[in-house]
Amino acid sequence: MEKKIRVRFAPSPTGGLHLGGVRTALFNYLFAKKHNGTFVLRVEDTDQTRFVAGAEEYIVDCLNWCGLTPDESPQKPGAFGPYRQSERKASYKQYAEQLIADGYAYYAFDTPEELTAKRNDQPNFLYGQKSRMEMRNSLTLAPNEVAKLIAENTPYVVRIKIPENETVSFVDMIRGLVSFDTNLVDDKVLLKADGMPTYHLAVVVDDKAMEISHAFRGEEWLPSAPIHILLWKYLGWENEMPKWAHLPLILKPDGNGKLSKRDGDRLGFPVYAMNWTDPKTGDVTKGFKELGFMPEAFINLLAMLGWNDGTDKEIFSLTELIDLFSIERISKAGAKFDFEKAKWYNHEWIKLSTASNLQVKVHSLLTEKGIEVKNESLLLKVIDLVKDRCNLLGDFVDQSVYFFSSPVEYDLAAVKPKWSPEKAAFFQEFSQNIQDDSTALQSEEEFKALAEAKGFKPGELMLPFRIMLVGGKFGPGVFDIATLLGKAETQRRIEKGIAAFN
């Protein structure tokens, strides 16, 4: 019987959610949905020294904003709970003891000071085959001495005993056959002095308990793979091991190394999905959501960092991504992050969105800036008119504010040098001729006809007209603006503009 597809996204609740983490969640989600499987959120909170209050809730909020809601999670438990590692503590110790009993692991009583002294003495010190017999552990101490130390509650860790002169191999779904020389792998800690497991033991025990079929994670975890594969073997679960896929890194814009939060700070763009507020310092790190990205665009751009469908198509909905996703199309090479390209995705998604889909968000943005929107029907028309000019959702404020409040300042420098009493007279006459039901095209024809009759080129009157209506040299077609403002408001703005220009 074929194993049911179960995948997991297993972040640590230590701070903001990096876009690389969201992409890992996305690829897990796409694979699960493509194969009618289950997408699990497991919180890896075993490192209590790095645990940050509020970080788990933040991760859940990020996934929900992206539309990647887990099928099972701490918030939505299924049959494989608990979904926080800290709540599974008892099971880890049992397996650590089993590994010791079977000769695959050992107790290590070395103090932090002893390890520091060793590292100072040997700069490239590794606790492993070459050094383990010089250390204080259950391989070098007599059994009665080990029993006495444990009975006296002497702090210890449990380390895996990596074999010498072996090759550990596995088939990665992205990279093919990957092999490791065990002589280059150290004896990693499996159980810490506080009784909590390290990632190495916990990930194996939890993947087995939760019946995970496929494990997607970042390329930076590749060096840990031999430890995990040996643990699956040593615990007798080799035939139930998930299939592995190590995803390519998301690189700095210059391609030189992994993209970090520091790079975002330096280059002026976010690397977190949503704003993250440090509970200790109160410092806020910007996120894509608050910067004005649509979740559809954020997911789309992440999918294209390391994957494509084999065509030149770049815009995909989540439904399309599920339908087209295949592991074979994930690249081995790292993908450079390009913030200008990210904004392009957002611009394309804003253009594709209906006015009604954008209405609540744009209304909220205008309200935050103190702009009152009394007419929702006008707002919908404004959104349709200006959305092609917006890269970020916040751009809607600058692009539409003048539809809801008359300009208080004018770009006089652009008008005054060529302003004249004849032009003032032209606008007074044009204002009187405006009809209630004129279309933008009709208004433009009337404007041009009157300009010709008065001996003006239409072009030299368009700029003053635009500045009367919006205050500056920006915005969509000036007759489209006038049509949406309506006859009375357009006349009022022409009158105010003439007074200001005179």
The catalytic residues are: 261
402 closest CA partner among 495, 500, 473, 460: 473
Kind and range of the H or E element at 291? helix 288-291
- Residue 157's φ and ψ, nearest 5 degrees, are -120, 165
Q: Which helix (H) or strand (E) holds 89?
A: helix 89-101
Query: Cα–Cα distance between 121 and 307 in angstroms, integer?
Result: 46
Return the biggest CA–CA distance within the chain: 111
CA nearest 187: which of 238, 137, 249, 145? 137
Taking the CB of residue 114, how many other CB atoms lie within 10 A of it?
A: 12
Distance CA 449, CA 426 (A): 11
Is the link from the previous residue into 82 a cis peptide, with omega within 30 of 0? yes
Secondary structure element (H or E) that encloses residue 228, with its range: helix 225-234
Q: Residue 259: which of 332, 336, 333, 330 has the closest Cα?
A: 336
Q: Considering Cα of 432, then 433, then 436, then 441, what sign does the dihedral take? A: negative
Q: How far apart are CA 465 and CA 483, in angstroms?
A: 13
Residue 112 burial (CB count, 10 A): 9
Q: Any idea which residue has 């092999």 for tokens?
A: 179
Between CA 378 and CA 361 the distance in angstroms is 15
